[in-house]
Structure 1
């Protein structure tokens, strides 16, 4: 086997493992939280959901550039293999968390997921760099397109395995990753080339590492805690610790720039931003992540908490079927990702990636036209169109960015690419969740009061129901939990069976959430459309085809 195919095979294992892990956790969160015995209506429990969802991304956002630079200096293959090992250890630790351990189990889940993110970080920054090193410029688009396809195949497997294994034991959800991790580690040890050190001692940029990591962590923490209730507010934007996190985080990131300019061996070579395809590709990627980072989360709530219960699915089975209903998006990506990569090799990324973003914007607009109880065929076609657009943008944009990098900067450059993507997704989650919660807190109490009266419930019961925190209802909807089964006992203790039957119906909560949810979703989608259109303009501004190997020696090649 040619070495380039060895690298593609090995990185494919890592990508499949990562995507299985991502989707199996997303789809199986209801099973995991039920296994831990977490009640979403108890005070403070919502925090655990946010940390499980965002803790992994916070770690990735803070370490990717550092890991990329370390890999450039000390060997990508060595640290890529280390990523598999760390990921395996964390997966085994996750699989032994005791059932019924409640909040302690949730804390262990969050900590072990963060350790898993460290392993994932080493894999992410090095896999794309290893592929770029192994494939010649004219074949990189195809290779990265195939790698993207592997990610989507892993997503399919994650959804299916999550649905199947949830019926047996939630611990198995984490053990699924272990065979892929072990195989990937052994394959990389015996087959991937170790590039020998040049023998030149390079000083580690400690201050650059500290300021960048601290800045990204503080800003990510600010966005995370802004989603948690504070005082009498459903959101925490006025929490002094949130404000302080943003202020100190921004100061750290601003300080990072002059520190890097004075370093002999900087963490990140800021001269990379002189390369037009790199800069505009990064900016387009950031806006794309900002626009669609929370889309999967919002679609999951829409399906699990509203559409599927209205159509007779029990709350216990909605997570699995929500994943099945979103497969059309992944199918669109599977079809278009390798095509987009091949077109990039032939024509360059400029037109291909830009058209992809335009298609994404069109699909987001079509989603705004749907009611909360939508026509399924229309919904699936729109998701399929969105998948086509994402497939057409992703691999060409990645190829364009990586082609613009000197080989010695590919780890750090790819780390910066992944960091912008993760930070964009984190901000997206906070931004769109804030919009949803603002709409929920304003309209859900009124809506639930009106719905309760329309169902014939007494006025005092309707008033009590309207005081249930909107975040708890949203938590229950996302986790696919029957809200009547976890309502406070002080509210349900003396209710007659007829009233409990109404609260336990498959239409009560979905009809309560439907209209307020669509108001928040449409506002979020309109903002996303604007961001994607701006991203499309930036994508086009990247200029024509640019490959470092072909540009070196010319004026436009940056000074190494």
Structure 2
């Protein structure tokens, strides 16, 4: 008894983070990493809803000529930075400790949030500061997202891994919807609150992660950093994603920038650098990107289906926001000032569907394998996207909510089993880089999706919006010469106005012309229904193309999911009474 008491006293002198983990540690790891993912995804979507108020707060018009670049980088900069750094961060974490760099990510993200909250500048200077501080957040988010799944996979036994990763994936989707609602509420009071909200969470999460998380995997310190591979991948991916970003903007007389020599040059250079990156990775002794992991059928098929699914749904949130804020809510009498808040609220069925199915599918996949659930999830999403194409733009909300719920069910059924399948298929010592690779495919797919979706919408608008604008404005009493000039403006302005929940008529039609119109015509132009009715049919052309493409991507993702093969299922370990008693004593000692 004396020796046992002495041993316990000696163990208490050891710092908590260096003690052996207790059986309850897995729940600590799950809770903290879920908090990190929740915070990162809230901040990725909170800006979508808050952009009108943020730009108003720094006194900038994002629709003015030459200012759309600020709008695009506020929208996509965070995702570009995160997507290009995930694999590098995952690889470094495998070498020097996943928990160490996860903790660093929490700290960097919190610092970025504080800088955004305190942004001193206004005008273009303020917009640049916001973009740079979002980059800082993106670096922190890269550390969090590249390591959270690996830490959970290390902490949980195989027969509980799908459920745990399902909870983590729920946090990601939940955060994106919570961000929309929070952004609408907080921006109503002050745009700085949009960034302040993550500061206390970040501080608590940083301290909690530092004191409670442990390294349960052995870092591979003897390996060398693949500097050439890191540089070619980071530069190549960044240049490629920048090309996609600017491909959305108009160039010359074209509604999109895909014919811009700089965009084409960026795309070609990005592809060449990524090809050089693959060549390097096949020849260096300690590559950053473990291409040999793709020899694992389950890993390769899981990432292929994840990438295709991200292309299918990555731009969905943007399309739904445009649909709700720019068309449906104004047509139903909502003021433009409150449209962002209600857009977030009306998208809640998407969250509910995922919230119900995410943990359930993870739990079921632990017992029956990932393939049937991830495949069925993609088929359900394909059906949901098809149903969106036959829904009228001025819909009955009941049907819209049911389709969103279906999409949430499909996404929940796919995400956690697919993630569990990918992470469970790789060797333990390579889970950090595998997690980074998985997140890179997912985030890159989302950025590609946004570029493709916006381009399809813009092309759809360009085909019929000029004629529709000319007829609508002249019918509203605007002189033909003025209406013709407005009708030939780039359709990008109309798209961004719908996304931001603006009625651009007050800016496009000069005050002199507006004041010369009869009061009824002026009220019509500046009212809730004129602009939404004007863009509805042109917008529907591009929107239906987007949803058809998404349905097709989901079907191909379902095929890739089928090809992953059967999963070897683990059975819970049966413990003897002596082992149970020993575990109880170990738990008490560790705590």
TM-score band by shorter chain is over 0.9
Which SS does the other structure have where 2:223 is aligned?
coil
Secondary structure of the corresponding residue to residue 405 of structure 1 = coil
Question: Does the CA contact (< 8 Å) of 1:484 and 1:500 recur in 2?
Answer: no
Partner secondary structure for residue 167 of structure 1: helix
Matched, 1:486 2:507: yes
2:173 aligned with 1:187: no
CA contact (8 A) 1:404 1:546 kept: no
* 1:502 CA drift (Å): 2.3
Range moving further from structure 2, 244-253 or 279-288: 244-253
Q: Which residue of 2 aligns with 1:353?
A: 374
Structure 1 spans left out of the alignment, 5+ residues: 551-560
SS of corresponding position for 2:566: coil
Q: Which of 357, 360, 364 in structure 2 is aligned with 1:343?
A: 364
Q: Aligned ranges for residues 227-242 of structure 1 at < 5 Å?
A: 227-242=248-263
Structure 1 residue 379: deviation in Å? 0.6
Provide closer, same or farther for how the CA distance between residues 321 and 201 of structure 1 changes in structure 2, counting only shifts above 3 A. same
Q: Which has the larger radius of gyration?
A: 2
2:551 maps to 1:500: no
After TM superposition, list the pairs within 5 Å mapping 1:99-498 onto structure 2: 101-194=122-215, 200-487=221-508, 489=510, 492=513, 495-496=516-517, 498=519
SS in structure 1 opposite 2:71?
helix
Q: Is the 8 A contact 1:41 1:486 kept in 2?
A: no
Tell me, in whole angstroms, the C-alpha distance in 2 between the residues paired with 1:356 and 1:194: 34
| Structure 2: tracts of 5 or more residues without a match | 1-21, 573-591
Deviates more, 1:434-443 or 1:152-161: 152-161
Shift of 1:363: 0.3
| 2:188 alignment partner, SS class | coil
Q: Which residue of 1 aligns with 2:9?
A: none
- Give yes or no for the alignment of 1:532 onto 2:562: no
Decide whether aligned partners of structure 1 residues 246 and 160 sit closer, same or farther in structure 2, where only a CA change above 3 A counts: closer
Aligned to 1:30: 52
Which residue number corresponds to residue 534 of structure 2?
512
Deviation at 1:71, TM superposition (A): 0.2
Matched residues in 2 for 1:549 and 1:267: separation? 33
Q: How far off its partner does 1:305 sit?
A: 0.5
2:36 maps to 14
TM-score for the superposition, normalised by structure 2: 0.90
Following TM superposition, by how much is the alpha carbon of 1:202 offset from its aligned partner in structure 2, in angstroms? Answer: 1.9
* Structure 2: distance between partners of 1:246 and 1:482: 34
**Within 2, Cα distance between the matches of 1:198 and 1:245?**
37
d(CA) in 1 for partners of 2:341, 2:253: 35
Please point out which of 116, 140, 149 is paired with 1:94.
116
Separation of aligned partners in 2, 1:473 and 1:492: 20
CA distance in 1, matches of 2:346, 2:184: 13
Q: Which stretch has the larger CA shift, 304-313 or 255-264?
A: 255-264
How big is the shift at 1:148?
Answer: 2.1
- Whole-Å Cα distance in 2 between the matches of residues 264 and 128 of structure 1? 26
* Whole-Å separation in 2 of the counterparts to 1:199 and 1:25: 38
**Native 8 Å contact 1:309 1:506 kept in 2:** yes
Equivalence for 1:555: none
SS in 1 for 2:336: coil
The answer to whether the Cα contact below 8 Å between 1:301 and 1:477 also exists between their aligned partners in 2 is yes
Aligned length: 549
CA deviations on 1:342-376 (whole Å, 9 max, x unpaired) are 01101010001000000000000000001111111
C-alpha displacement at 1:547, in angstroms? 6.7
Q: Secondary structure at 1:166's aligned position in 2?
A: helix
1:494, CA displacement in angstroms? 5.6
Separation in structure 2 between the aligned mates of residue 469 and residue 198 of structure 1, nearest angstrom: 53
CA separation of 1:258/1:372 partners in 2, compared to 1, >3 Å: closer, same or farther? Answer: same
State the partner residue of 1:42.
64
1:374 is paired with a residue whose SS is: coil
User: Structure 1 residues 150 and 428, CA, compared in 2 at 3 Å: closer, same or farther?
Assistant: closer
Q: Is the 8 A contact 1:400 1:546 kept in 2?
A: no
Q: CA deviation at 1:454?
A: 3.2
Deviations 1:537-559 (A, max 9, x none): 11011010147999xxxxxxxxx
- Hey, what's the Cα distance between the residues in 2 that align with 1:208 and 1:200? 18
Deviation by residue 1:39-86 (Cα, 9 ceiling, x = unmatched)? 244102222111111111111121110000000000001100000110
SS in 1 for 2:360: helix
Deviates more, 1:58-67 or 1:37-46: 37-46
The farther-off stretch of 254-263 and 510-519 is 254-263
Q: Deviations over 1:263-309 (max 9, x none)?
A: 11111221111111100000000100111111110111011001110
Shift in alpha-carbon separation, 1:143–1:203, aligned structure 2, 3 A = same
TM-score normalised by structure 1 residue count: 0.94
- Alpha carbons of structure 1 residues 143 and 292: separation in structure 2 relative to 1, 3 Å: same
